[in-house]
Amino acid sequence: MTEQQSTRAQNKQSRHQAILEALATQLEQHPGQRITTAQLAESLGVSEAALYRHFPSKARMFEGLIEFSEDTVFGLIRRIVDEDDNAVSRCEKIMALMLGFSAKNPGISSVLVGTALTGETERLRHRVSQFFDRLETQFRQILRERELTLTQAGGRPVNETANLLLSIVEGRLQQFVRSGFRQSPLQGWEQQWQLINTILKVYA
């Protein structure tokens, strides 16, 4: 690849990122409202045609936000799992990671809980479901691995516990979006974790 080609590729990538950032900002500034491509183009100072040169549809823009969430969250989860071998601590860090990611990315949170996807394609809802299914699988794997190392292995409600942890995360995100981003998903988290920790003592 020549230097000129490399520069063009970098510029294209930066324009992709700028469009996704603008979409996330519009979702944050207009909670509960459907964002049109005309509105998005106006916020960027470009034409709708310019948007479609980078993304074939608005659905692909939403997919770009979901992909960013997947890459960021699960990349950090891999680091947590690699650096911390304590199951309960891993779960705490992953839950705090998700809540912190949501707090920093309000617009994307509205995509993950589905409110921003009203009227969009079913494929996008499926992608979001896959995101949370993957998160639940991560909790389940951590708890299952821990259970196998315990003296009295077996009998612990691993599937139900993993689903409970996921439900707490999803619930906090829902409250954040429903409040118009006023109620941080991290509000009261330290106290809530102490309650959750009592449930996870069987894996300590």
Would you say residue 27 lies in a domain?
no
Q: What is the pLDDT of residue 3?
A: 53
Domain of 161, CATH number, reads 1.10.357.10
Distance CA 149, CA 170 (A): 29
Would you say residue 152 lies in a domain?
yes
Q: What is the pLDDT of residue 111?
A: 96
3-state secondary structure the chain: CCHHHHHHHHHHHHHHHHHHHHHHHHHHHCCCCCCCHHHHHHHHCCCHHHHHHHCCCHHHHHHHHHHHHHHHHHHHHHHHHHHCCCHHHHHHHHHHHHHHHHHHCHHHHHHHCCHHHCCCCHHHHHHHHHHHHHHHHHHHHHHHHHHHHCCCCCCCCHHHHHHHHHHHHHHHHHHHHHCCCCCCCCCCHHHHHHHHHHHHHHHC
Residue ranges making up the domain that contains 77: 62-203
Would you say residue 98 lies in a domain?
yes
Distance CA 128, CA 114 (A): 8
Would you say residue 174 lies in a domain?
yes
Q: What is the pLDDT of residue 152?
A: 72
Distance CA 136, CA 35 (A): 30
**Cβ distance 121 to 57 under 8 Å?**
no
Would you say residue 37 lies in a domain?
no
Would you say residue 196 lies in a domain?
yes
Would you say residue 77 lies in a domain?
yes
Q: What is the pLDDT of residue 19?
A: 94
Would you say residue 142 lies in a domain?
yes
Instruction: Tell me which residue has tokens 């950032």.
Output: 21
Distance CA 90, CA 43 (A): 40
Per-residue pLDDT of the chain (204 residues; tens, 9 = 90+): 555 545 554 556 788 899 999 999 999 999 988 899 999 999 999 999 989 988 999 999 999 999 999 999 999 999 999 999 999 999 999 999 999 999 999 999 999 999 999 888 899 999 999 999 999 999 999 999 999 888 676 678 999 999 999 999 999 999 999 999 999 999 999 999 999 999 999 888
In total, how many domains does the chain have? 1
Q: What is the pLDDT of residue 5?
A: 47
